[in-house]
Structure 1
Amino acid sequence: MRHSRNMSLLFIALVVVCGGAFAQTSGPREGLPKEPDTDEQRIADLAIASRVPVNEGVLDSFGHVTVRSLKNPNHYFMPKAMPPGLVTPKDIVELDINSAPVDPNAPRTNGERFIHGEIYRVRPDVQAIVHSHSPAVVPFSVSPSRPLRPLIHMSGFLPVKGVSVLDHRDVSRDDPSLRGKLMVNNAKLGAALAKTLGQDSVVLIRSHGMAVVGASLPWAVFRAVYTHLNAKAELDAIALGGEVVYLNDDEIKMHSTEVFDVARPWENLKSRLPKN
């Protein structure tokens, strides 16, 4: 009797162990991160999201990151005009969909806020945007025969045929007041940028930089960093000479299945920030 009971207990233990092993190996092992559920949390994360790309060489003194308001989706939050590496939650300004500060006494905001407002206007799926002057990306904005294309595994969010480029001259051709501009500092140029972006995740601005969108701050920052790294890798591959092998359609389609855990890079990038 005792032997029979011991065998039964052993069988149950094996079932539990095997069941646990099956649960760990079937489906994704790492879940998606919980999205911020308050504007206060988004503002706190925006301060971090402003500093992370600076630390990774993606942002310089003039780039900026924004996040849509959860409470009022027609509003968004943006740091005041300041170096992104110094942003804290107290530096965040709330703007409406026309990129005007909600508080008339708000500090001066970035002139290129229209990049963000006009994208938020036409892309309700976008919750966060990074505008960067990445020195690795800019060369691809001025070389039509060499578009920025997905080359590394983590950059499967890039269009397989190449990232679209906004050329201000296409907009200013019929509007003399815009001639010579290279900044997206009014609604007309912002709308043209949003149109050029379409449903993609990244758009380039000729001789200037890029705008990157995401369904959250971690996703937008992840994509900005890996667009920068992909550009560096593509420049290196081109420098080797000969043919460059890019990701194909099947690999692009698999990207969202294979690269689903944004929490890992987000936490890693935050951990790399200077402790002070």
Structure 2
Amino acid sequence: MQQSRTDQCIAVVDDDPSIRETLEGFLEAEGYDICCAADADELDRLMLVRPVDLVLLDIRLPGRDGLSLTRDLREKSEMGIILITGRNDRVDRILGLEYGADDYIAKPIDERELLPRVRNLLRRVEHSRGVAAPSTLSFGQFRLDTRGRSLTDPAGENVPLTTAEFDLLLVLVRNAGHVMSRERLISAIKRRRFESMDRTVDTLVRRLRRKIEADPDNPHLIKTVHGTGYLFSGPAAGDTRTPTKRSTSR
């Protein structure tokens, strides 16, 4: 049965035409607007003429590979990124998450598994673009807008966050002063369980530290509790103490 159409566009980027055709047919039947590309350059050309909300991205593209493309896309967009990987691409999957991917799915692709991942990620992307009246949480002079899903630093500048980074930071801030296990963090941010769940949380924490800590190697806001998880120790909302300034180094 044909699903009602949406205005959300999904790009399928894979050099295997059979995979492109299969995913295009399946997702179009679910009501999504689909565009396809065989490599990174073709995706770049497509994105010049149409907005893309989510990319299904083969990690082993010819030329500019999926990891490099993930990093490039994340630098300029908060679109959803799901990597398409081989069963044995564990290291590349971790790197992909480090570079800003939101999720991955292994070949051969199970369409019953892919669809809820696509739906959930598109929902988060759409929510992150919302313009509802702000409801803010603060730590020092950082401001976390829970409705607009944005973070501003002490200078009032926007701190770019991926959907996964925002979700994790929100959970940590809301539970400031309490140790959060990796299992609880994964459950709280409603992400699918990855093959290496602990490393997924660790990767997101490293990325957050680079964005909000004065010295990411000696963090004062997101502290590691060895053998357990993480503790957010930033000042409570409304605290007027002088905050730690964010480092400009990356």
Q: TM-score, normalised by structure 2?
A: 0.26
As a proportion of its length, which structure holds more helix?
A: 1
Greater relative contact order structure (CA < 8 Å, 6+ sep): 1
As a proportion of its length, which structure holds more strand?
A: 2
Q: TM-score, normalised by structure 1?
A: 0.25
